[in-house]
Structure 1
């Protein structure tokens, strides 16, 4: 007795083994791709993708080690400041958020939101007692 009468992807009548689900490898692959697209993205994939995008943007705009950029420029490229990997607090009390080795600090200068971009330095790892 046949378990599946037609191909799950293209709906053609199946010929051959009784447990066959697809008429060929193309239909099998296309069906799996279609099912994966229908499922909502997993949370950790969304987080990972946003972190990668944030890092790419910060790397692109921070060529000098310390740079100030308007927040609007970064957000137009898809930068989301809510996604970061760790933070560092300087002696003044400013908290820099980091995406791997690239950090940013939100500032408001002359009524415009900006980010101060920095790169991780070895001295930032030193713990103070």
Structure 2
């Protein structure tokens, strides 16, 4: 009696070795991608992805070096102020949170939450 297996991805009948699981490298890759998408996202990946998104958003909105933007605009794009890489405290005691070279300071003016966006400068490292 001959045993027939099917490809784990496309379900086509496999021909060849008895331990074969896929009909070609594309099906193997597709299957592995499908399996990875079903796994819960690892903590490191969540943090890394959020940092990348935050940086992208700050870069997009800070064209002038120092800009003020309503918080609802950035938050609507997926910005999360709880994810940052470092901070800098100025002479006035304001603490700017940074995502790599882009920083922000949360302010409330006339009941409206805003972010003051800045870029890292050499003097900040001293």
TM-score over 0.5 for the alignment?
Answer: yes
Pick which of 64-73 and 25-34 moved more. 25-34
Matches within 5 A, 1:38-53: 38-53=38-53
> Aligned pairs, how many?
125
Aligned to 1:69: 69
Unaligned runs of 5+ in 1: none
Q: What is the CA–CA distance in structure 2 between the aligned matches of 1:4 and 1:42, rounded to whole Å?
A: 37
Distance 1:3 1:102, change over 3 A: farther
* Stretches of 4+ aligned residues off by more than 6 angstroms: none
Pick which of 5-14 and 110-119 moved more. 5-14
Secondary structure of 2:34's counterpart equals helix
How large is the Cα RMSD of the aligned pairs?
1.7
Q: What is the CA–CA distance in structure 2 between the aligned matches of 1:77 and 1:30, rounded to whole Å?
A: 30
After TM superposition, give the deviation of residue 26 of structure 1 in Å.
2.7
If the length of structure 2 is used for normalisation, what is the TM-score?
Answer: 0.91
Q: What is the CA–CA distance in structure 2 between the aligned matches of 1:108 and 1:50, rounded to whole Å?
A: 24
Q: What is the CA–CA distance in structure 2 between the aligned matches of 1:87 and 1:115, rounded to whole Å?
A: 15
Aligned to 2:107: 107
Distance 1:80 1:14, change over 3 A: same
Distance 1:109 1:3, change over 3 A: farther
